[in-house]
Amino acid sequence: MKRRVSDSKKSPDLRGGGLRARPRRRAGFALFLAAAALGLAPARAEIVAKVDVLRLNTAAAQRSFIAPGWGQWYKQDKGRAVAIWTLEAGFLAGSAYSFHRSREAMNDFRGGRAPYSRHTRKVDQANFLLIAAAVTWGYSVLDAYLGAPPQGVTASVGEKGSVQVAWNVRF
């Protein structure tokens, strides 16, 4: 009997009865089944809901990485999004203004009209505001990823083990 390449993974028929060996399964699946039999594994709906929330949180964090507060807006937490946008804009505008004032202070120092310490104070203030903007940006990304899932997300188990996850969005 000649074996074809495609038949090499199958066991031969036993007397034409059509009995074939089942494909090998990973040990993790067997452990999952054992844990489910003992009642230790979560229900399938919980697993699907957790995966969907993880995808949602990851998408929100990616948006907040691009623009602070966008992830919160995406997760329907608009109050927090506006607060983060306001803080970020305030810190960046304050830093730009302080940097501009430090340049003026440097020109005054070179002209002999002001001490050098005035320039360093303005530079320190600009750096502090830039650090505050970076911390706000980092907080935005972490909050979008670790924050609570948005309101309106529901998960339900239907007939024959089907799972449905719904997200109601209001505009």
Reported as a single tens digit per residue, the pLDDT across 112-153 is 888 988 889 999 999 999 999 999 999 999 988 887 655 565
Give me the pLDDT at residue 8, please.
46
Give me the pLDDT at residue 127, please.
93
Spans of the chain below 50 pLDDT: 5-23, 25, 171
**Domain map (residue ranges) of the chain:** 27-147
Give me the pLDDT at residue 44, please.
53
Give me the pLDDT at residue 92, please.
94
Give me the pLDDT at residue 13, please.
46
- Whether the pTM exceeds 0.75: the reply is no
Burial of 48 (0-12, 13-18, 19+ CB in 10 A): middle
Q: Which of 55, 52, 51, 30 is nearest to 41 (CA)?
A: 30
Give me the pLDDT at residue 88, please.
94
Strands (E) in the chain, as ranges, are 153-157, 163-167
DSSP code per residue over 101-118: HHHHHHHHHHTTSS-HHH
The packing angle between helices 78-110 and 116-146, to 10°, is 160
Nearest-angstrom CA–CA distance, 46 and 51: 9
